[in-house]
Amino acid sequence: MSVSPAVFRGFVNPVDPRPGELRAWAYAPDSVPLQAMPPDWDLLVSGDRLIDTLFDLALDPQCPARRFALHCLYIYAADAIRTQFRAHPRRKLRKLVETAEEEGDDLITTWAHNTRMLLARPDLFNYHDWCEGGLVRHGKRLA
């Protein structure tokens, strides 16, 4: 699945970006490097409002910010599961996992597998892996 990029013209409010802004930035991430974003920007954008946009970006192998989007999916999944779905709806996470399994490549199906593993065994949660990008950087598949 390829998402058509738009021209990135900046964020009106980087703490609360619009889906179109996030999508445009993801195809030109060097225009505003992650280091220039507010602290914990990954945690700020990993919510219900932007998760569909992040999911689309993570599905697109051509997206330059794909790994960032995937990292945000890990944050979203961990947040949902660790709060027993008070933070994010179970139905939404289930739909994302199913779509990832049906449409994704190895990178995104690994996320779906790891999310299912965390659902079954919440003790597998490790903050570094799930919220600081460890699982994305190492491509680790939980057993």
Kindly indicate the confidence band of residue 17, based on its pLDDT and cuts at 50, 70 and 90: very high
Q: How many CA atoms lie within 13 A of 41 on its CB side?
A: 16
Helices (H) and strands (E) in the chain, counts: 8, 0
Give the residue extent of every domain in the chain: 19-138
**53-84 pLDDT tens trace:** 999 999 999 999 999 999 999 999 999 999 99
Q: Angle at the Cα of 93 (from 64 to 71), degrees rounded to 5?
A: 30
Q: Supply the pTM of this predicted model.
A: 0.92
Q: What is the C-alpha separation between 34 and 18, in angstroms, rounded?
A: 17
